[in-house]
């Protein structure tokens, strides 16, 4: 395979002094994050709140500048881009946010919202721009008559289709999808996910797919990277990660997903410090305070685990990732209590 | 067994600029003592309006509860209660927890102040005795250091801990029924699993019944004895949980089950239900699911009643009428 379309290396971003307000959490910090996304594939970044998923997304599309590390897109460093080069980058990398209600101008008709980037980037004007907008609406499964509507006149699923059309308007290669379906109902969620898969196949798009829901991720991703408190703790092809998770956090996350069969009230991996979101650590493994693995020892509290190669393209940052839990097959969640 | 909660023909409308929204329409269900019933559906199906109506928490106007509606709780006619009796019911007979724990805690009151106030509203206890009871409640909901938490303020706690505090508040009046409206939707998945487990174990331990409102079928499958699926302001199917998930009778339930992403299901998204939910001001005539239903036929132009389909199941679908032995 050719060089990766996106390469992130040693990314660090902190928000010193950020407190957030009464309602919100401060943006999550990211520490030494590295990954690649190859052309035409989907890499999913999975994690809970505070894991740093959105911070990474914002750095990749250059809404934020990292404190350290580099981000290369199609071979070129994005950090130093200015002027025309930056505009060209923005045409090739687009982002779709979770809440299309918040990212669309409430006073702009949605047709104009999709047309805007076409004009800003000078891709088409007049009747040609109109035709492109109509084509984009049809492509995302919206009746072109909807162009004259305002965002509040659309359902959540329709608004998200508009958000996707707007991102596609400039003909990008990479789409960063930041929780694109978490605000949608189940029936609509499936429609939008299917649309995203179709678009990827049809247009040869590359996706960086950010989500907290492993069941959704499983339907979208070729590879999955699991984040915990700003660090990637495990990364693998989707099938290996789901079948043979090696990091205790990944195992806990998988076991916490509620299952549909009432009989499969599965043995859940119980974390230490229940009720909390886990104590922040300054040294050692970030997951150590909550880690339920019986093998957890002093070393976990002292020494940050390096990513171990545990299988083909499968890495896990746990001192014990290479060794199966004694008496339990590695594919089984570690069951306690 | 006599039902603890018996909701009959509950209808709630809202007058909006777009017309009259029939948010809950002729909703009937029961909850037996100690039973967990899940009310499941997507946004706009009427599940939250139904929950709020139980405690008469809907502002009237704009809401209007149809006079033919009956809500019987533990023998009392809820819709006819005077204000003093209604206060005793809220938090006394029926406790409630909501989706956004932070929005339901007062940011300038300590956790202790919340609990002491609530405890003393339900029982004539001294401050000291109420504080002791508060400590007990916090321990019961699994907060590790009750004494420290009593002095803390809501913003010092994580979302999961805040939800445990709300649960402690809901349990202060020793309710017979806990109404939990999307109690874990705002929480992370690992925290969600902890809270669901806690709800279930407290329910058993205290002999409470629970009405769980959720959009998440898998959550219903995890904790409920019986499930009622709502669509378009109506209950479209109700069945024992195991039967509902093993063999859904209503095409909407079936579609939802197929569309829900799961770890052990298809590895491609399954858009099993086309279109979206119409606004409550403009439900389709006939069966409200008809425009989205792949199995609709002529008879669906007439709205089906909720029909018994055997083994404790009811479904609002003409397909069940043709096959008396629906299983």
Q: How close does chain A come to B3, measured CA to CA in Å?
A: 24
Give B276's contacts in chain A (Cβ within 8 Å): 155, 157-158, 185, 187-188
Query: Is-contact A258 B221, C-beta < 8 A?
Result: yes
Question: Is pLDDT at B178 greater than 50 in this prediction?
Answer: yes
Q: What is the pTM of this model?
A: 0.89
Check CB contact of A260 with chain B, cutoff 8 Å: yes
Residue A256's closest CA among B263, B270, B241? B263
**Number of alpha carbons in the 13 Å side-chain half-sphere of residue B56:** 19
Query: Is-contact B112 B151, C-beta < 8 A?
Result: yes
* pLDDT value, residue A336: 36
Q: Where is average pLDDT lowest: A236-245, A274-283, B46-55, B74-83?
A: A274-283
Query: Is-contact A293 A325, C-beta < 8 A?
Result: yes
Inter-chain touch B218–A258, beta carbons under 8 Å: yes
How far apart CA A298 and CA A47 sit, in angstroms, is 26
* Segment 291-320 of chain B within 8 Å of chain A by CB: 292
* pLDDT value, residue B187: 82
What's the whole-number average pLDDT of chain B? 90
Rounded mean pLDDT, A23-42:
84
* ipTM for the assembly: 0.86
Chain A residue closest in CA terms to B268: A219
With cut-offs at 50, 70 and 90, classify the pLDDT of residue A234: very high
Inter-chain touch A49–B188, beta carbons under 8 Å: yes
Q: CB-based contacts of B150: which residues, under 8 Å, 6+ apart? A: B110, B111, B112, B115, B131, B134, B135, B138
Query: Is-contact B123 B165, C-beta < 8 A?
Result: no
Rounded mean pLDDT, B284-301:
94
Rounded mean pLDDT, A227-236:
95
Give B245's contacts in chain A (Cβ within 8 Å): 260-262
* pLDDT value, residue A274: 62
Rounded mean pLDDT, B245-268:
91
* pLDDT value, residue B101: 83
Read off the DSSP letter of residue B301. Answer: G
Check CB contact of B77 with chain A, cutoff 8 Å: no
* pLDDT value, residue A174: 98
Question: Is pLDDT at B258 greater than 50 in this prediction?
Answer: yes
Q: How close does chain B come to A144, measured CA to CA in Å?
A: 16
Chain A residue closest in CA terms to B102: A23
B242 or A19, which is more confident? Answer: B242
A77 or A274, which is more confident? Answer: A77
B46 or B99, which is more confident? Answer: B46
B43 or A23, which is more confident? Answer: B43
Residue A322's closest CA among B211, B316, A330? A330
Rounded mean pLDDT, B161-180:
92
* pLDDT value, residue B61: 86
How far apart CA B256 and CA B229 sit, in angstroms, is 10
B261-294 b/e (C-beta count within 10 Å ≥ 16 → b): bbbebeeebbbbbeebbeebbebeebbbbbebbe
Domain A6-225 class in CATH? alpha beta
* pLDDT value, residue A281: 72
* pLDDT value, residue B70: 95
Phi, psi of B243 (to 5 degrees): -70, -40
User: For B136-154, what is each residue's pLDDT tens digit?
Assistant: 999 999 888 889 999 999 9
Q: Please list the residue range(s) of chain A that carry CATH number 3.40.50.300.
A: 6-225
How far apart CA A141 and CA A151 sit, in angstroms, is 16
Question: Is pLDDT at B323 greater than 70 in this prediction?
Answer: no
Q: Where is average pLDDT lowest: A211-220, A227-236, B140-149?
A: B140-149
Chain A residue closest in CA terms to B270: A190
Q: B5-93+175-322: which CATH topology? A: Rossmann fold (3.40.50)
Inter-chain touch A260–B260, beta carbons under 8 Å: yes
Taking phi over 0 as left and psi of -120 to 50 as alpha, with beta for the rest, B314 belongs to beta
Give B221's contacts in chain A (Cβ within 8 Å): 258-262
With cut-offs at 50, 70 and 90, classify the pLDDT of residue A266: low
The domain locations on chain B are 5-93+175-322, 104-172
* Segment 220-249 of chain A within 8 Å of chain B by CB: 220, 242
A62-96 b/e (C-beta count within 10 Å ≥ 16 → b): bebebeebebbbbeeebeebeeeeeeebbbebbbb
Phi, psi of B154 (to 5 degrees): -50, -40
How far apart CA A145 and CA A138 sit, in angstroms, is 10
* Segment 150-189 of chain A within 8 Å of chain B by CB: 155-158, 185-189
Question: Is pLDDT at A13 greater than 70 in this prediction?
Answer: yes
* pLDDT value, residue B160: 85
How far apart CA B318 and CA A303 sit, in angstroms, is 64
* pLDDT value, residue A324: 58
How far apart CA A12 and CA A315 sit, in angstroms, is 20
User: For A90-132, what is each residue's pLDDT tens digit?
Assistant: 999 999 988 767 788 999 999 999 999 999 999 999 999 999 9
What is the share, in percent, of chain A residues with pLDDT greater than 70? 87
How far apart CA A55 and CA A232 sit, in angstroms, is 13
* pLDDT value, residue B50: 94
* pLDDT value, residue A25: 56
Check CB contact of A267 with chain B, cutoff 8 Å: no
* pLDDT value, residue B5: 96
**Number of alpha carbons in the 13 Å side-chain half-sphere of residue A231:** 19
With cut-offs at 50, 70 and 90, classify the pLDDT of residue B296: very high
Check CB contact of A201 with chain B, cutoff 8 Å: no
What is the share, in percent, of chain B residues with pLDDT greater than 70? 98
Q: Give the Cα-Cα-Cα angle A161, B189, A194 (nearest 5 degrees).
A: 25
Token pair 């709800």: residue: B199
């Amino acid at each position: 395979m050719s060089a990766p379309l996106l390469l992130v290396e040693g990314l660090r971003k902190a928000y010193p002094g950020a407190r957030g307000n009464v309602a919100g959490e401060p943006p999550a910090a990211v520490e030494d994050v590295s990954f690649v996304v190859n052309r035409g594939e989907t890499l999913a970044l999975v994690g809970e709140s505070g894991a740093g998923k959105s911070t990474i997304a914002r750095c990749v599309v250059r809404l934020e500048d990292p404190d350290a590390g580099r981000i290369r897109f199609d071979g070129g460093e994005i950090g130093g881009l200015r002027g025309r080069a930056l505009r060209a980058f923005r045409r090739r990398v687009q982002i779709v946010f979770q809440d299309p209600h918040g990212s669309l101008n409430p006073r702009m008709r949605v047709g104009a919202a999709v047309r805007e980037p076409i004009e800003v980037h000078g891709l088409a004007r007049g009747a040609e721009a109109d035709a492109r907008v109509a084509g984009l609406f049809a492509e995302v499964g919206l009746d072109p008559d909807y162009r004259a509507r305002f965002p509040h006149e659309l359902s959540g699923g329709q608004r998200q289709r508009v958000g996707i059309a707007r991102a596609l308007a400039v003909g990008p290669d990479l789409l960063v999808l930041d929780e694109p379906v978490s605000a949608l109902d189940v029936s609509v969620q499936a429609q939008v996910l299917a649309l995203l898969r179709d678009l990827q196949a049809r247009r040869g798009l590359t996706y960086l797919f950010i989500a907290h829901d492993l069941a959704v991720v499983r339907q979208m991703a070729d590879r999955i990277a699991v984040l915990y408190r700003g660090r990637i703790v495990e990364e693998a092809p989707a099938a290996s990660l789901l079948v043979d998770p090696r990091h205790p956090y990944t195992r806990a996350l998988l076991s916490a997903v509620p299952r549909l069969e009432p009989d499969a009230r599965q043995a859940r991996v119980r974390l230490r410090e229940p009720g909390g979101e886990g104590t922040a650590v300054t040294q050692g493994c970030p997951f150590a305070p909550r880690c339920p693995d019986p093998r957890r020892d002093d070393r976990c509290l002292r020494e940050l685990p390096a990513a171990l190669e545990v299988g083909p393209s499968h890495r896990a940052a746990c001192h014990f990732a290479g060794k199966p839990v004694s008496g339990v097959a590695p594919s089984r969640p570690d069951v306690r209590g | 067994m006599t039902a603890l909660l018996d909701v009959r023909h509950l209808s709630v409308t809202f007058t909006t600029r777009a017309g009259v929204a029939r948010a809950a329409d002729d909703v009937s269900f029961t909850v037996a003592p100690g039973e967990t019933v899940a009310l499941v559906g997507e946004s706009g199906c009427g599940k939250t309006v139904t929950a709020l109506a139980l405690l008469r928490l809907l502002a009237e106007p704009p809401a209007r509860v149809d006079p033919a509606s009956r809500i019987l709780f533990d023998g009392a006619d809820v819709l006819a209660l005077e204000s003093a009796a209604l206060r005793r019911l809220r938090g006394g007979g029926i406790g409630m927890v909501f989706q956004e724990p932070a929005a339901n805690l007062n940011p300038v009151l300590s956790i202790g102040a919340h609990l002491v106030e609530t405890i003393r509203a339900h029982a004539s206890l001294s401050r000291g005795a109420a504080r002791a009871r508060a400590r007990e409640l916090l321990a019961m909901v699994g907060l590790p250091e009750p004494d420290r938490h009593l002095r803390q303020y809501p913003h010092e706690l994580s979302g999961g801990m805040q939800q445990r505090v709300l649960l402690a508040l809901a349990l202060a009046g020793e309710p017979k029924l806990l109404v939990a409206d999307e109690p874990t939707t705002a929480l992370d998945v690992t925290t969600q699993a902890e809270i669901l487990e806690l709800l279930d174990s407290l329910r058993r331990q205290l002999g409470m019944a629970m009405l769980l409102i959720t959009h998440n079928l898998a959550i219903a499958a995890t904790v409920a004895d019986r499930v009622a699926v709502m669509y378009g302001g109506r209950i479209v199917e109700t069945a024992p949980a195991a039967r509902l998930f093993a063999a859904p009778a209503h095409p909407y339930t079936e579609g939802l089950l197929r569309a829900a992403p799961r770890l052990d299901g298809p590895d491609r998204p399954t858009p099993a239900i086309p279109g979206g939910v119409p606004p409550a001001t403009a439900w389709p005539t006939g069966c409200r699911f008809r425009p989205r239903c792949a199995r609709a036929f002529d008879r669906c132009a007439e709205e089906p009643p909720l029909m018994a389909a055997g083994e404790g199941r009811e479904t609002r679908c003409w397909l069940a009428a043709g096959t008396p032995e629906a299983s």
